[in-house]
Amino acid sequence: MQKLVVLDLYELASLKYLDVSLTGIGHLPVGLQKLKNLYYLNLNGTQKLHSVGKISKLLSLKILRLIGSNVDGDASLIKELQLLEHLQVLDIMISTESGLEQLLGDQRLMNSINSLNINGFQQKPFDMSVLGSMKNLRQLRVVDSHLLKINQTSPLLSNLSKVRILKCSGMKDLTWLLFSPNLVYLNVTFSEVEEIINEEKAANLTGITPFEKLEELIFSTVPTLKSIYWKPLPSPLLRRLIIAACPNLKKLPFNATSVPHIMQPPGQETDLEWEDEDTKNRFSPLLTSALGKFKLVKLDLD
């Protein structure tokens, strides 16, 4: 494999846009801090990158993407970002309490967050209610964390479109997703969730129908999961559903009129319960066979 040559940017003083995402760089290009006109910097997926140094010297920076790098959102990085007066869009991972506290003290910076990864909050649980202060948050990934339930007394997260929860505990339901009408992707894996939307909690939130824009729904190895929703949902845009190793989930929130656009790949019967015979006839041909003692349901809807 050829070694990646990091560019010397001293001769590109007028550069405004730099995308080195998904590359093997281990440090920032030479001369980067001299780029006074740079407004876009994409470092997503740079797994060997551990530091962005004095990034506050990029005085014109408006868009910074750090998801998938090894740059921790600790207090020192947040302090650097606070000096970027023009920053409008931020993709970042937070994995330290000090970084979170520093971030929560700056509403301007919280408003700039577009994509957020939360990782490793076990000793001190992560309070999901703080997400309500991130009005422009669109993508959320929470990994290996103990979660505190979110405050559901007021609408929040209206721009949230993608949510992934992996190896998390402490939150028995995700009823707060009712306040995310633009959700298109939901993935819950290796987590202790029992319900997606709790009927009792949702009863106080009249006039809200969840998942109207949902396109992909994935539940994998969630043995505690018993219910997605207690009655059939209209899912006009759903095109992909995967349910694996969720032995206590016996019923899908669909009826014979749910999910209008379906291609029917071959499949086998499962032990799911159906809303009625028409629903069973419509969906059972789409289901794959059982996988060992775990049920596997996969719908690819295009």
Residue 63 and residue 95 in one domain: yes
22 assigned to some structural domain? yes
Residue 166 and residue 221 in one domain: yes
Query: Angle 75-82/97-104 helices, nearest 10 degrees?
Result: 30
Q: Please report, in tens digits, the pLDDT of each residue of the chain (302 residues total).
A: 444 455 566 667 789 999 999 999 998 887 888 899 999 999 999 999 999 988 999 999 999 999 999 998 899 999 999 999 999 999 999 999 999 999 999 999 999 999 999 999 998 999 998 998 999 999 999 999 999 877 665 556 899 999 999 999 999 999 999 989 999 999 999 999 999 999 998 887 767 888 999 999 999 999 999 999 999 888 888 888 888 889 899 888 887 777 655 443 333 345 677 778 877 777 776 665 433 333 444 555 54
CA dist list (Å): 29 to 20, 55, 114, 240, 246: 10, 12, 25, 40, 46
Question: What type of residue is 134?
Answer: M
- Nearest residue to 210 via CA among 238, 172, 191, 242: 238
Whether this model's pTM surpasses 0.85: yes
Residue 193 and residue 290 in one domain: yes
- Of 51, 85, 119, the domain-final residue: 119
Tell me the CATH number at 105: 3.80.10.10
Structural domain harbouring 73 = 14-119
Which pair of structure tokens corresponds to residue 220?
Answer: 């994998």
128 assigned to some structural domain? no
155 assigned to some structural domain? yes
Contact 173, 197 (CB under 8 A): yes
Residue 28 and residue 86 in one domain: yes
Contact 26, 53 (CB under 8 A): no
- Of 119, 146, 165, the domain-final residue: 119
Q: How many domains does the chain have?
A: 2
CA distance 184 to 244: 20
- Of 64, 91, 119, the domain-final residue: 119
Cβ neighbours of 222 (radius 10 Å): 24
Residue 153 and residue 278 in one domain: yes
